Structure formats: structure tokens, C-alpha cells
Amino acid sequence: MVWGQIFRDKGRYCYLCALAKKRMGVESLFQRWRFDDVQAVDCVIGDQPGTGSSSGVSFLRRALDLRCFHDLFDVRPN
């Protein structure tokens, strides 16, 4: 995978590595927003169905497991 090569050779791809880290930061902020949204919706509608015939809070909780940039998290160095 391309991102794996970028992380392995940070000196050569320093700008792309910085971009990857910024994207991971955006991911973290988006996950925080999702969590806050789940908490707010839980307070407002509880176990009731959500809009668009969704299952409401349980639908939003499942979305917490999704990642926008999963490819970066799969190959990032530990």
C-alpha cells in the first residue's frame, strides 16, 4: 500500500507523511463529533426511531466504529 511506503520512508516523503498525520487528526476530530452527537441524540430521543426510519441511537453508535481514513490507520506506525 502506498501509505505504508510513505510511513516507512518519512525522510523522502516528509510532506506526504505530514498530510497523513493531518488527515488522522481530522479523523480524530470527526470521531469526537460523532461521539458527542450520539450523546446528544440519546438525551433527546432515547430509544425511539431516528429520522429516515433509522434505528436512532443504535445506528449512530454503530457509526462510531467506522473510519473515514481507515487506510491510514491500518498502516500507521505504532
32 pLDDT more than 70: yes
Domain boundaries, the chain: 2-75
Tell me the three-class secondary structure of the chain, residue by residue.
CHHHHHHHCCCCCHHHHHHHHHHHHHHHHHHHHHHHHHHHHHHHHCCCCCHHHCCCHHHHHHHCCCCCCHHHHHHCCC
Query: How confident is the model over 2-25, as pLDDT tens digits?
Result: 888 888 888 999 999 899 989 999
Query: How confident is the model over 39-78, as pLDDT tens digits?
Result: 999 999 888 888 777 888 888 999 899 888 888 878 877 6
